[in-house]
Amino acid sequence: MPEQKPFDSEKWIRQIRVKELPVLRYTRQQLDGAREQIDNVTARDIVDIVVQDPLLAVRMIAEIQVIRGQSLHNDIATIGSSIMMMGIDPFFRTVADVRSVEEILQDKPQALLGALKVIGRSRNAARYANEWALWRADYDIREITLAALLRDLAETLLYVLEPSRALEIKALLTTNPGMRSAEAQKMVLGCTLADIQLQLCRVWKLPDLLLRLIDDREAGNPRVRNVTLAVTLARHVANGWNDPALPSDLAEVASFLNIDLETLARRLNLSLDPADGN
């Protein structure tokens, strides 16, 4: 295999067009079905489709940032607000003929599996973050949920748009079990995926609020901690409930929510009995 050229993260970020982002095949099928029933479709119906797909979610948030221009001063950081402002007919025009992730990666099955795994993790992270924000009576649960859904967007995009580099990072981590993800990312990309994530958000002019919620440097903020803990737990759960990092994760979450481990386990439908396979 020929050696890859050095990765130019800034150039790569500038070349990514948010309007050209693909969606999951299942998402596209849902959109096609909703379009056929457009007279009966509500904004809530659209939101239910969008929030299951981080690629479509970020596309909608970026689109509305452009549409709103300078006429509004408040950040719009939720999908529902974006759809309401855009309108249902314009929404369907923005996603006409959108490509699917499966179509793009049809001859790269390993990369496709990697992308789907990251998206699955993102959905779980959003679910955890939503529940914990509800438990904490956060003032806007939707913002927390969206931030968790989008937290690993850069990794998803790498699998879709730079599959060979994404697989190279994965191979490094597989062959070097003690290596940290950030170290492998720097070896392959020259920077971390977290760096790329924040740069993408700025290039796409995503809301400042969303930027803060996915920025690990804001770790002292309880809302950011909600997102970070949800994303971390989802990553480790993806390895199976026997992942050695999970006891520490669960202890941190229980402390954050000010509940005991047994209560947390019930909410996660998890057995803490070592003899139990769950």
In terms of domains, do 83 and 114 share one?
no
In terms of domains, do 121 and 244 share one?
yes
- Say yes or no to pLDDT of 153 above 90: yes
Q: By the 8 A CB rule, do 272 and 261 touch?
A: yes
Domain end, chosen from 101, 124, 153, is at 101
In terms of domains, do 78 and 161 share one?
no
Q: Domain of residue 127: give its range.
A: 107-267
Task: Identify the CA nearest to 84 among candidates 124, 32, 126, 47.
Answer: 47
- CATH classification at residue 162: 1.10.3210.10
pLDDT for the residue numbered 271: 58
In terms of domains, do 95 and 116 share one?
no
- Say yes or no to pLDDT of 1 above 60: no
In terms of domains, do 183 and 252 share one?
yes
Arithmetic mean of pLDDT, 33-54: 93
Mean confidence (pLDDT) of the chain: 89
Arithmetic mean of pLDDT, 79-100: 88
SS3 of the chain: CCCCCCCCHHHHHHHCCHHHCCECHHHHHHHHHHHHCHHHCCHHHHHHHHCCCHHHHHHHHHHHHHHHCCCCCCCCCCHHHHHHHHCHHHHHHHCCCCCEHHHHCCCCHHHHHHHHHHHHHHHHHHHHHHHHHHHCCCCCHHHHHHHHHHCCHHHHHHHHHCHHHHHHHHHHHHHCCCCCHHHHHHHHHCCCHHHHHHHHHHHCCCCHHHHHHCCHHHCCCHHHHHHHHHHHHHHHHCCCCCCCCHHHHHHHHHHHHCCCHHHHHHHCCCCCCCCCCC
Domain end, chosen from 47, 69, 101, is at 101
Arithmetic mean of pLDDT, 9-13: 92
- Say yes or no to pLDDT of 74 above 60: no
In terms of domains, do 113 and 81 share one?
no
Domain end, chosen from 39, 74, 101, is at 101
In terms of domains, do 257 and 230 share one?
yes
Within 10 Å of residue 84's Cβ, how many Cβ atoms? 16
pLDDT for the residue numbered 266: 85
In terms of domains, do 157 and 226 share one?
yes
- Say yes or no to pLDDT of 71 above 80: no
- From CA 31, how far away is CA 25, in angstroms rounded? 10
Does the predicted model carry a pTM greater than 0.75?
yes
Arithmetic mean of pLDDT, 81-109: 91
